[in-house]
């Protein structure tokens, strides 16, 4: 067991005894990843914040049932993914899931760890925004399950087994979903990645 | 047995090795643009990692603060769930049934029945209030049996039978002879033996 996982196990054990400070540490550790994952699923900062809160609250309520059969973050991802997938499904049913152009054009926060430190030139910035918008549109067209698989694999670098545990399905299903998700995205974004 | 899609995905992600890899690449050589599709998948992954990063979580400390407040509120609200204000449904049903039973019992015990109901009954007991005697220990009660067409006067507390009661007594004996079973003697456990009359067995003695 890796050091990070051992730390998680100790913190989880404290949480199971009702230690909220231990849970606070776990939240601090995973809030960034969780928020980013949910944001990429739903493309809305405020909703991503709320869903991340709901997900952590659910995790706290059910942490007593966590038996350590998987890594904590896999278990946490499963809760978060369920929250996000439910939200996407509800929005698709109510017809509110259309792409919001303002959100797509929103500038990535300066100083964010994922953004290069140097300020991009105006045309580069426009280009990045345009690319982001195109990716958002393509991802919007995927089913919630395909979105989840491609994001966990490509953005978080998770293994098939971890994704399968997080989504509660077989590794075969994960590979199959990944195949079709990639195929759809390739069809939508080929002109971009071939010209960069 | 893995499907083509599963093997292709593993191949793109570099998870195929040995004979499995050789077999799949042999299979793939029959497919047009197989290598190009793999190249495209790898470039797609790179594109997503470079251009699809989510913004950083703003006000991260407030995120924790708000979450901890919600957890505390939920934790504080938990005992209220264990002791709800309203009783659960079975308890309400039982309580209602007990209340109805109590009301019914009080009604039948306290509320006097009307004369119509008494006249319809088989026996009729009445307390005589005016006995014209100064001794409060002397009581008089009449008992009417509708089936036997008989009214009995029960006097208690008398040391002797008044002379004017002899006529009632003789009349009662004549009536009793017409009704078999009414000539029995009074119950032996009566606290004070009746002085002025006999007692029919079918009619319960008041106050015994």
Question: pLDDT higher for B136 or A112?
Answer: B136
Domain hosting residue B43, numbered range: 4-51
How buried is A57 (Cβ within 10 angstroms: 0-12 exposed, 13-18 middle, 19+ buried)? middle
3-state secondary structure of B142: strand
| Structure token pair of residue A19 | 């230690």
Q: Which two tokens stand for residue A191?
A: 């002109």
Record the tokens describing residue B183, joined without a space: 């000539």
Looking up tokens 């698989």 gives: A149
Given a cut of 60, is residue B10 above it in pLDDT? yes
Of the pLDDT bands very low, low, confident and very high (cuts 50, 70, 90), residue B186 is very low
Q: Which residues numbered 83-102 in A keep a CB inside 8 Å of some CB on B?
A: none
Of residues B52, B60, B71, nearest to A40 (C-beta): B52
Joined tokens for residue A32? 């960034």
Class assignment of domain A1-98?
A: mainly alpha
Q: Provide the ipTM.
A: 0.76
- pLDDT tens digits, A118-141: 566 667 777 888 899 999 999 999
Of the partner residues B12, B45, B53, the one whose CB lies closest to the CB of residue A108: B53
Judged by DSSP in three states, B58 sits in coil
The verdict on a CB contact (< 8 Å) between A32 and B56 is yes
Share of chain B above pLDDT 70, in %: 60
- Give the chain B residue nearest A151 (alpha carbons): B48
* Residue of A31, A39, A52 with shortest CB distance to B55: A39
Residue B114 has a pLDDT of 55
Residues B128 and B204 in one domain: yes
**Integer Cα distance of B74 and B67 in angstroms:** 11
Q: Is it the case that residue B18 has pLDDT exceeding 50?
A: yes
Answer whether residue B97 is part of any domain: no
> Does residue B182 sit within a domain?
yes
Examine the pLDDT at B62 and tell me if it is beyond 60: yes
pLDDT of residue A95: 57
User: Closest-CA residue in chain B for A153?
Assistant: B45
Is residue B77 assigned to a domain?
no
Please name the member of B13, B49, B70 whose beta carbon is closest to the beta carbon of A53: B70
Residue B100 domain flag: no
pLDDT band at B70 (very low <50, low <70, confident <90, very high): very high
Tell me which chain B residues have a C-beta less than 8 angstroms from the C-beta of A189. Answer: 44, 47
**What mean pLDDT do residues B10-31 have?**
87
Average pLDDT value for chain B: 72
Is A132 in CB contact (< 8 Å) with chain B?
A: yes
Mark yes or no for CB contact B63/A178 under 8 Å: no
Is B96 within the bounds of a domain?
Answer: no
| Token reading at B55 | 């913004």
Per-window interface: B 38-77 vs A, CB < 8 A: 40-41, 43-49, 51-58, 60, 63-64, 66-68, 70-72, 74
What string of DSSP letters covers B2-40?
--HHHHHHHHHTT---HHHHHHHHHHHTTSTTHHHHHHH
CA pair distance A69, A59, nearest whole angstrom: 15
Q: How far apart are CA A11 and CA A68, in angstroms?
A: 12
CA distance B124 to B143: 6
Per-residue pLDDT for A177 more than 70? yes
Instruction: Identify the closest residue of chain A to B51 by CA–CA distance.
Output: A132
| Contact status of B6 with chain A (Cβ, < 8 Å) | yes
Kindly state whether residues B208 and B124 are assigned to the same domain.
Answer: yes
Q: Which tokens sit at B32?
A: 């047009």
Q: At residue A98, does pLDDT exceed 50?
A: no
Nearest to B47 among A60, A180, A196 (CB): A196
Mean pLDDT of A145-159: 92
Lowest mean pLDDT of A6-10, B82-86, B201-205, name the range. B201-205
Taken as a whole, chain A contains a residue count of 196
Backbone angles phi, psi at B2, to 5 degrees: -85, 150
The pLDDT value given to residue B44: 92
Specify the pLDDT at position B86.
59
Say yes or no to pLDDT of B137 above 70.
yes
Residues from chain B that touch A162, judged by Cβ atoms under 8 A, are none
Per the rule left: phi > 0, alpha: psi between -120 and 50, beta: everything else, B75 is alpha
More reliable by pLDDT, B121 or A169: A169
pLDDT at A105: 38
**Do residues B126 and B208 share a domain?**
yes
**Full DSSP string of chain A:** --HHHHHHHHHHHHHHTT-HHHHHHHHHHHHHHHHHHHHHHH--HHHHHHHHHHHHHHHHHHGGG--SSS-HHHHHHHHHHHHHHHHHHHHHHHT--S--HHHHHPPPPTT-TTS-SSPPPHHHHHHHHHHHHHHHHHHHTS-HHHHHHHIIIIIS---HHHHHHHHTS-HHHHHHHHHHHHHHHHHHHHHHHTT-
Collect all residues of chain B within an 8 Å Cβ-Cβ radius of residue A111. Answer: 56
Helix (H, G, I), strand (E, B) or coil at B158: coil
What is the mean pLDDT of the segment spanning B28-38? 81
Residue A172 touches partner B, C-beta closer than 8 Å: yes
Provide the pLDDT confidence category of residue B68 given band limits of 50, 70 and 90: very high
Between B186 and A165, whose confidence is greater?
A165
Domain count, chain B: 2
Rama region for A95: left / alpha / beta (φ>0; ψ in -120 to 50; rest): left
Give me the pLDDT at residue A184, please. Answer: 94
Which of A193, A194, A195, A196 to mutate to test binding with chain B, by most B CBs within 10 Å of its CB?
A193
pLDDT at B113: 63
């Amino acid at each position: 067991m890796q050091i990070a996982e051992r730390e998680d196990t100790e913190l989880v054990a404290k949480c199971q005894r009702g230690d909220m400070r231990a849970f606070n540490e776990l939240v601090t550790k995973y809030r960034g990843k969780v928020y980013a994952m949910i944001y990429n699923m739903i493309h809305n900062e405020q909703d991503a914040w709320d869903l991340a809160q709901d997900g952590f609250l659910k995790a706290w309520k059910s942490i007593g049932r966590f038996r350590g059969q998987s890594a904590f973050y896999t278990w946490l991802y499963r809760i978060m993914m369920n929250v996000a997938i439910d939200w996407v499904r509800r929005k698709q049913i109510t017809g509110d899931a259309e792409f919001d152009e303002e959100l797509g054009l929103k500038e990535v926060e300066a100083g964010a760890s994922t953004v290069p430190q140097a300020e991009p030139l105006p045309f580069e910035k426009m280009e990045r925004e345009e690319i982001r918008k195109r990716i958002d549109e393509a991802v919007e067209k995927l089913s919630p399950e395909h979105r989840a698989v491609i994001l966990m694999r490509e953005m978080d670098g998770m293994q098939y087994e971890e994704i399968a545990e997080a989504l509660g399905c077989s590794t075969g299903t994960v590979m199959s979903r990944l195949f079709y998700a990639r195929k759809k995205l390739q069809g939508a974004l080929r002109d971009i990645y071939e010209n960069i | 047995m893995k499907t083509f899609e599963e093997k292709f995905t593993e191949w793109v992600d570099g998870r195929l090795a040995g004979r499995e890899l050789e077999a799949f690449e042999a299979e793939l050589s029959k497919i047009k643009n197989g290598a190009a599709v793999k190249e495209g998948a790898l470039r797609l992954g790179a594109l997503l990692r470079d251009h699809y990063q989510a913004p950083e979580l703003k006000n991260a400390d407030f995120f924790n603060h708000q979450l901890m407040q919600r957890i505390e509120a939920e934790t504080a609200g938990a005992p209220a769930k264990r002791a709800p204000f309203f009783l659960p449904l079975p308890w309400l049903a039982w309580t209602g049934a007990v209340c109805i039973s109590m009301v019914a019992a009080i009604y039948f015990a306290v509320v006097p029945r009307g004369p119509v109901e008494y006249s319809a009954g088989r026996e009729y007991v009445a307390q005589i209030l005016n006995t014209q005697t100064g001794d409060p220990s002397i009581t008089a009660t009449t008992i009417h049996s509708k089936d036997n067409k008989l009214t009995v006067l029960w006097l208690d507390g008398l040391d002797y039978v008044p002379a004017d009661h002899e006529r009632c007594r003789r009349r009662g004996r004549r009536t009793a002879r017409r009704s078999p079973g009414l000539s029995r003697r009074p119950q032996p456990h009566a606290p004070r033996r009746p002085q002025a009359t006999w007692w029919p067995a079918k009619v319960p003695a008041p106050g015994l």
